[in-house]
Amino acid sequence: MSEIENQATDTLLPSASILVFSKDSDTLDSAKALLDDWRFARVNVNAIEGGVEEAITTFESEGATEIIIIQTDEIDDSFTERLGELSNYCDEGTAAIIIGPVNDVYLYRQLIEMGVSDYLVRPIKVEILKDVIAKALIQRLGVSDSRLIAFVGAKGGVGTSSMAQICAWLAADNMENKTLLIDAAGGWSPLSVGIGFDPSASLPEIARAVEAQNEDALERMFFEASDKLTILASGSDAMLDPSVSAAQYEAVLDNLMVKSPVVMVDLSGAESSVKKAVLSRAHEIIMVATPTVTSLRFCRSLLKEISDIRGGETGGVSLVVNQAGLAKTYEVSLSDIGEALEFPPSACVPYVPSVFLKYESDIKGVITDKDASVFIGELASMLQKSISNNVSTTDQPEESSGFLGGLFSRKKSK
């Protein structure tokens, strides 16, 4: 087995669609159980009662999918002929997995020669089904990294934590991306107030659980804010105690980034070493500043430092100007900000204290408040670009002709 296939059992799987056709309730239940596995967060699984005929009907109208799974009670010439008919509606890279009634080596080889990825004998255990599907996806699509988005303030008091929480809700509930939000501030974190949970762990406890590979302990440290938004429920640290090192925090990130497609980090209260480590590796950075001279001076310096640690690049950095209109007479205009920084703002959030104070302990409410609609749209547009700018994989999948290619090869050899 290749190294890339070995990763299938412990990494977040790439975005894909899977159709499962079976008349057996246990198999259908096993397919639905895939949705409870964090590895399948990006995978759409549709379990349909039926067999190869229903698969043909579905593909005639719905088109392609990455993996098709068909269970049959009989595998004879008529079944393989219908598979050939089904292949006419499949993309060349589609993987086909057949679930049959008997353990037959000759039959297995025959199906593999046709282009079928795997043959399983019922009854199917959930864990076996998960691993077979995971390896098929990794082989065809490769390993796809999560998006790490870091939020950092040009200085204190600019509203970085509020922006991070709003963006997390937008990514999860509005854009329907499975999102994980974490805070690097330890006992100074405001996350529990804005989201509404009781902190269940300190950063040192989280780091120790990661180092010990204690997944059971880690599981208890998450708070499910919604179906799509998960929070690492840190914040129980003593405020004056030392926090974790940059290396420890990076180890936590390494663990979390194989569990969620989008990981957001609030760095506003982090130690400088942690900020530097995260900013150097983040796929996207969202910097928050206010339109004041002091804030923008810090912003310019921080942009320069970010460019230095990222090899002279600032392409993955977006600037949010927050609290615009607080004191208009003394503020720097957006056009002047762009000219002075040589870096145009991506979004501008007006000073609306009635909105932010109203939802101080329920930041999600800002998104649906009519007084926030204008800047929410700007934040969503900025965020969409950050999330959709997918990272290219370092490990490429092995070439595979898939179901259609295998059947074509078989037909040509006759």
Which pLDDT belongs to residue 402?
Answer: 58
Which pLDDT belongs to residue 63?
Answer: 64
Q: Which CATH class is domain 147-388?
A: alpha beta
Delimit the domains of the chain by residue range.
Answer: 3-143+394-413, 147-388
Measured distance CA(159)–CA(372) in Å, rounded: 15
pTM over cut 0.85: no
Which pLDDT belongs to residue 16?
Answer: 86
Per-residue tens of pLDDT for the chain, all 414 residues: 444 444 444 567 877 899 999 999 999 999 999 888 877 887 889 999 999 999 998 888 776 788 999 999 888 888 888 888 888 877 777 888 999 988 878 778 878 877 788 889 988 889 899 888 888 887 776 655 678 999 999 999 999 999 999 999 999 999 999 999 999 999 999 999 999 999 999 999 999 999 998 989 999 999 999 999 999 999 999 999 999 999 999 999 988 887 888 999 999 999 999 999 999 989 899 999 999 999 999 999 999 999 998 888 888 899 999 999 999 999 999 999 999 999 999 999 999 999 999 999 999 999 999 999 989 999 999 999 888 764 333 344 444 555 555 543 444 344
Which pLDDT belongs to residue 114?
Answer: 76
Which pLDDT belongs to residue 60?
Answer: 81
Check: CB of residue 94 under 8 Å from CB of residue 59: no
The identity of residue 339, as a single letter, is E
**Fold equal for 3-143+394-413 and 147-388:** yes
The correct CATH number of 3-143+394-413 out of 3.30.70.20, 3.40.50.150, 3.40.50.2300, 3.90.1150.10 is 3.40.50.2300
Which pLDDT belongs to residue 408?
Answer: 38
Which pLDDT belongs to residue 122?
Answer: 87
